[in-house]
Structure 1
Amino acid sequence: MSALVDRWMALSPNLRGILWVALSGLVFALLNVFTLIPARHLNPYTMAFLRYFFGALFLLPLVMRLGLARSLTTNRIGLHVSRGAIHTVGMMLWFVALPLTTLAEITALGFTGPIFVTIGAALFLREDVRLRRWLAVIVGFIGAMIIIRPGFSSLHIGVVCILLSTPIFSASNLISKALARTDSANTIVIWQNIVIVICAAPAAFWFWQTPSWTDLLWFLAAGLCGTLGHLCQQRGYQLADITLLQPIGFLSLIWNTLLGYFLFFQTPDVWTFVGAAVIFGSALYISHREAVRRAQIKTADSKASPES
């Protein structure tokens, strides 16, 4: 066992980060499967609450091992609470979309995340977004239109909810990446589960639907996959730059397409893959330009430093 650990630690941090995120994508694909079945008859408020309630149960052994104080210790509680509240809204929208669209379509439209990040940076952070990045945003938008094909296919509520949830999840992921600089993956995931359970509880109890025993088994499996997926993702974020990890997200389309096809007989059309390729190319370019921008800022700061 120690030999395997030594071989794992001998790998470069970037490679370990890539492998952690690749594993999280597979685990999240299984999460989609386990939540899709109860999502067909339970409302999104109940779904969001039970998904993270059972996820929190799987964190209890970790909290007991680390101790409550060590698990929750952070100097950035405001960011944790903000992220959890934001993620709750995105999760409820996502659960509305889940039974209405194919897993492949949900995943493909989710690749629009970097596009919304760029727009948000320009509108709210007043960042100087150059022409090439705006062109990449336009290309990504075209990719999304290829998938939903307004005027040629029905623009249903599921697609709208996915497009609304994607920028919300993007904001959550950016906050998560910022938290990873100071807090451990365990602390980030524990706070996420606590805040989401608290935020989702009022709506869940107001619109409560009692799940069956079979539903509870699906939520148990979903809670395990969700907790493991977030822990793997956070470890990846702490080891590698998020722009380097961006291409790994494309693997999620493969996992979700295969699982949707073999388990639920979901057959996405060719336009889903064409649009996904266009969106992914745009997202990859945006991530590349962001990496270049940060490198330029870092170089300029080092030259301006008196020590340089």
Structure 2
Amino acid sequence: MTEQNVRLGILLMILTSAIFSLQDAISRHLAAEYNILMIVMIRYWFFAAFVITVASRKAGGWRAAARTAQPGVQMARGLCLALEICVMVASFVVLGLVESHAVFACYPLLVAALSGPILGERVGWRRWTAIAIGFVGILVILQPGRGVFSASALIPLASAALFALYGLLTRYVSRRDSSATSFFWTGCVGAVALTPPGLWMWQPLHGADIAWMGILCVLAALGHYCLIRCYEVAEASAVQPFAYLQLVFASAVGVAVFGERITPATALGAAIVTSAGIFTLLRARRRIPVGR
């Protein structure tokens, strides 16, 4: 890998984080007016069409991409991500972008904590220390015992846990399946799973929201395309820390567009969680220098 590839990978990860932040803002806007399952279902329809198109252009077509020896795990991955997106969009509506992303930033710590029991990986004392410090940051954000804690604060934490499980299952299936296969199953399983409840909750889109829904679908596909290109040109361990910029971008949009506030506790807690998360990523990079 050349230095130029790493630089390009970092730029693509920054672009991906910005795109996903805009996507989250539109999701928050639409979910405040329409059923969340319907919004995510339409997004997944476009996503599934995108992954099928990408797979069809590769050697062997979509049938080759769909071929897997572990369909049960692949389906579990797809269901985890679909549920995670629904939960996170609900968090945007209830808590806003700033607090949701501040808590969600703990997902690398959950990945590190669960990688031992699920994948059999060794987690050293330094990473366990970082995990403990990171969850102190979560407590700073949630402020239990000060009269401001509510059950709604657990929504982004549940989303982070689902995304961590999705990430661990992705690492598990990567031992036998290609990234193209995992990408194909991710889009198609989510679309199939969300279609029945999404159609049941169908609400007609009105006025400008039709355009916003179209933009959301395009951003979702564009963001995943940039992410794919990012991992094609650079190792995941080299670019993953820059994914934390999504917290910065999403917070900026939350303040500028939705009038949200960044409280001192949220800022301090997010800084602690992010620092601990980056440390665990760097430790993983030292242990696995060749990438995933």
Does the CA-based 8 Å contact 1:38-1:215 persist in structure 2? Answer: yes
The structure 2 residue matched to 1:82, chosen from 76, 82, 86, is 76
> How far apart are residue 216 of structure 1 and its match?
2.7
- Give the Cα–Cα distance (whole angstroms) in 1 for the partners of residues 206 and 150 of structure 2: 28
Q: Which residue does the alignment assign to 2:240?
A: 246
- Give the Cα–Cα distance (whole angstroms) in 2 for the partners of residues 240 and 21 of structure 1: 10
Residue type of the partner of 1:31?
Answer: Q
Instruction: Tell me the percent identity.
Output: 24
Residue type of the partner of 2:15?
Answer: L
Q: Which residue does the alignment assign to 1:116?
A: 110
Question: How many positions carry a matched residue from both structures?
Answer: 286
Q: Which residue does the alignment assign to 2:11?
A: 19
Does the CA-based 8 Å contact 2:52-2:184 persist in structure 1? Answer: no
> Helix, strand or coil: the match of 2:288?
helix
- Write out per-residue CA displacement over residues 119-174 of structure 1, whole angstroms, 9 at most, x where no aligned residue: 21233334332222211111000011111111225333442121011122123345
- Give the Cα–Cα distance (whole angstroms) in 2 for the partners of residues 228 and 203 of structure 1: 26
Does the CA-based 8 Å contact 1:45-1:203 persist in structure 2? Answer: yes
Does the CA-based 8 Å contact 2:84-2:159 persist in structure 1? Answer: yes
- Give the Cα–Cα distance (whole angstroms) in 1 for the partners of residues 245 and 49 of structure 2: 29
- Give the Cα–Cα distance (whole angstroms) in 1 for the partners of residues 236 and 173 of structure 2: 13
Shift in CA distance, 241/188, structure 1 to aligned 2, threshold 3 Å = same
1:259 paired with 2:250, answer no
RMSD value over aligned CA atoms? 2.9
Q: Which residue does the alignment assign to 1:70?
A: 61
Q: Which residue does the alignment assign to 1:44?
A: 36
Correspondence list, 1:171-186, <5 A: 171-176=165-170, 183=178
Shift in CA distance, 223/179, structure 1 to aligned 2, threshold 3 Å = farther
- Give the Cα–Cα distance (whole angstroms) in 1 for the partners of residues 222 and 182 of structure 2: 13
- Give the Cα–Cα distance (whole angstroms) in 2 for the partners of residues 180 and 231 of structure 1: 19
Q: Which residue does the alignment assign to 2:265?
A: 271
The structure 1 residue matched to 2:198, chosen from 201, 204, 218, is 204
- Give the Cα–Cα distance (whole angstroms) in 2 for the partners of residues 20 and 104 of structure 1: 23
> How far apart are residue 190 of structure 1 and its match?
4.5
Residue type of the partner of 1:215?
Answer: D
Residue type of the partner of 1:199?
Answer: A
Does the CA-based 8 Å contact 1:133-1:286 persist in structure 2? Answer: yes
Does the CA-based 8 Å contact 1:56-1:223 persist in structure 2? Answer: no
Does the CA-based 8 Å contact 2:85-2:159 persist in structure 1? Answer: yes
> Helix, strand or coil: the match of 2:18?
helix
> Helix, strand or coil: the match of 1:12?
helix
> How far apart are residue 71 of structure 1 and its match?
4.0
User: TM-score normalized by structure 2?
Assistant: 0.85
Residue type of the partner of 2:25?
Answer: V
Shift in CA distance, 155/239, structure 1 to aligned 2, threshold 3 Å = farther
Structure of greater Rg: 1
> How far apart are residue 206 of structure 1 and its match?
3.3
Residue type of the partner of 1:205?
Answer: L
